Amino acid sequence: MHGILGQKAARGRLGRASIFGLSALGLAACSGPLDPAGPVAADNLKILIDATLIMLAIVVPTILLAFWMAWRYRASNSKAEYLPY
């Protein structure tokens, strides 16, 4: 019975991988928003890139600080001084 369950799981993983691969292949052929076809589209691309960079400048340090806080004030860290008011 273990062999049958293992085969079903392998088929499920293969099915998900093939669906992901086919959808990635289909999307690779599309020309998207990063291929401007005129001056307005080029300006829109610049706005999109600028907004993404501004967002990353805020999100990346926030995520890094969240991981740092979780590591610094974990329960097993005896050196951390957490003094709530």
Whether 47 and 23 map to the same domain: the answer is: no
Give a yes or no: residue 85 inside a domain: no
Give a yes or no: residue 21 inside a domain: yes
Single-letter code of the amino acid located at 51: A
Whether 3 and 23 map to the same domain: the answer is: yes
pLDDT in tens, 28-48: 666 666 777 889 988 998 999
Specify the higher pLDDT residue, 55 or 34.
Answer: 55
CB 49 within 8 A of CB 57: no
Whether 72 and 38 map to the same domain: the answer is: yes
Whether 41 and 54 map to the same domain: the answer is: yes
Q: Which range, of 4-13, 30-39, 56-65, averages the lowest pLDDT?
A: 4-13
End-to-end CA distance of the chain: 59
Whole-number pLDDT of residue 9: 64
d(CA 54, CA 64): 16
Whole-number pLDDT of residue 57: 97
Q: Using CB atoms within 10 Å of the CB of residue 58, give its burial: 0 to 12 exposed, 13 to 18 middle, 19+ buried.
A: exposed
Count structural domains, the chain.
2
Q: Which residue segment(s) compose the domain that 59 sits in?
A: 34-78
